[in-house]
Amino acid sequence: MSGAIWNLLSFIVALGVLITVHEFGHFWVARKNGVLVKRFSIGFGKALLSWRDKQGTEFVIAAIPLGGYVRMLDERVDPVLPQFKDLAFNHKTVWQRMAIIAAGPAANFIFAVFALWLMYMLGVQTMRPVVASVTPQSIAAQAGITAQQQIISVNQHNATDASSVNLLLVEQIGSHSITLGLQDIVTQQRRSVTLNTAEWRFDPEKQSVFDSLGLNLARPQALTEIARVAPDSAAEQAGLQVNDKIIRIDGTDITQWTQLQALISNAPEQQLSVEVERSGAVLSIDVTPTLLITADGFSQGVLGITPKVSDWPEGVLYTRQYGVIDAFGAGAAHTWQFIRLSVSMIGKLLTGDVSVKHLSGPISIAQGAGTTASLGLVAFLSFLALISVNLGVINLLPLPVLDGGHLMYMLVELIRGKPVSEKTQETGFRFGALILLMLMGIALLNDISRL
């Protein structure tokens, strides 16, 4: 199965699950409040499959899997016979209507807790955030961070693994300082340091948040031995082979893969003398890196070789697995971290601390779905939880076309004692739809530019 088809299928499964969860929230609370639900649709367009239950609700799976809706009996939309008025949405109290609207995002948050609960029950392999080295002159170096220390907290929020540290650091984009709690892995001594992030620049498309701060975590390292030579590459044409150990390039000793990358990248279409160790003998091979133009328009050299990697450092990789109760607590805490991050990122978009060029659309989500699904159920559950939280938070934004917009109108109705006029609501819906379409367009263009 090709990668594109796998991504598409994974995307459809993920979106189908999350939309069903969201709409079921509206549906369930509407039923509990005595509202007649006329249709529960997953997808838009032509119905592929439909059936009715005893209460008369039509359940539909439609052809376009890009959304869904719950259609309730409502006098503002349909003619309603007098004997059925008590079943209409618009005849319920403001609090009942607010509960029905809020139930969709709430269901997304509950599902995220469930998905992460299941993930922690199954066990998730993760890594301890142990600092292996610090980049000279970096933000981390200036704060006095040294190797062999584990990050245990970010701004007083406890961090259990590298993933949670990553989320907590991303949440601090735009902050002028970040306080890290550290523990020496040998002496177990604890201390805290403050990073001066007033000039911090982080581009998630080019580097990790750790790299941007100068923190190099303990993990497998790329070696200077060749693991793979790409067919028809400059390396194959020159005679480089798997298991060759590169020891010198144009007289420069090579001790790290990053050195090799820099030398090759800076020498497109230039002949280089590469010394390799092969079967105990040292050979000198002339090779000319191929010219590659990057997406940013820069020229770089490429050999077409992949390095071998070292084993994981001892004690860094471990499995987080809990029993039923503890897994629920971990899932709830992880969900709350996702919620905080999502709200924080929306705020940073509004303040300009995060650029709209980092918005992701359906193509990026499909790629994420395909990648995590390939890694297994545990990774896919984490992805579903993250997207479910994002869906819930976005739907709570006070845009009239979203659930948050409906809640905003109902809040105004509570304060004024009467509903917002139909004309005002209609104007708001058009304005909200325009903003939403603009954001979706930007996200889609970002996706296309990343291809």
Centre a 10 Å sphere on the Cβ of residue 427 and count the other Cβ atoms it contains.
Answer: 12
Residue with tokens 């080295």: 133
Is 23 known to be catalytic? yes
SS (H, E, C) 413-444: HHHHCCCCCHHHHHHHHHHHHHHHHHHHHHHH
Q: How open is the CA angle 179-383-402, to the nearest 5 degrees?
A: 90
DSSP label of 364: H
DSSP character string of 222-266: EEEEEEEE-TTSHHHHHT--TT-EEEEETTEE--SHHHHHHHHHT
Is the CB of residue 336 less than 8 Å from the CB of residue 113? Answer: no
User: Collapsing DSSP states into helix, strand and coil, what is residue 192?
Assistant: strand
Strands 177-184 and 190-196: antiparallel
Of 385, 406, 382, 407, the C-alpha closest to 339 is 385
Q: How many residues does the chain have?
A: 451
Name the catalytic one among 23, 171, 413, 422.
23
Phi and psi torsions of 197, nearest 5°: -110, 20
Encoded tokens for 239: 């005679």
Beta bridge partners of 318: 126
Helix spans in 44-138 (H): 94-122
Question: Exposed, middle or buried, 303 (CB in 10 Å: 0-12/13-18/19+)?
Answer: buried
Strands 177-184 and 149-154: antiparallel
Question: Exposed, middle or buried, 5 (CB in 10 Å: 0-12/13-18/19+)?
Answer: exposed
CA dihedral sign, ordered 86, 88, 91, 95:
positive
Amino acid at 428: G
Q: How far apart are CA 15 and CA 11, in angstroms?
A: 6
Amino acid at 442: I
Distance of CA 128 to the CA centre of its chain: 20
Q: How far apart are CA 428 and CA 200, in angstroms?
A: 38
Q: How far apart are CA 61 and CA 65, in angstroms?
A: 8
Q: Looking at the annotation, which residues are catalytic?
A: 23
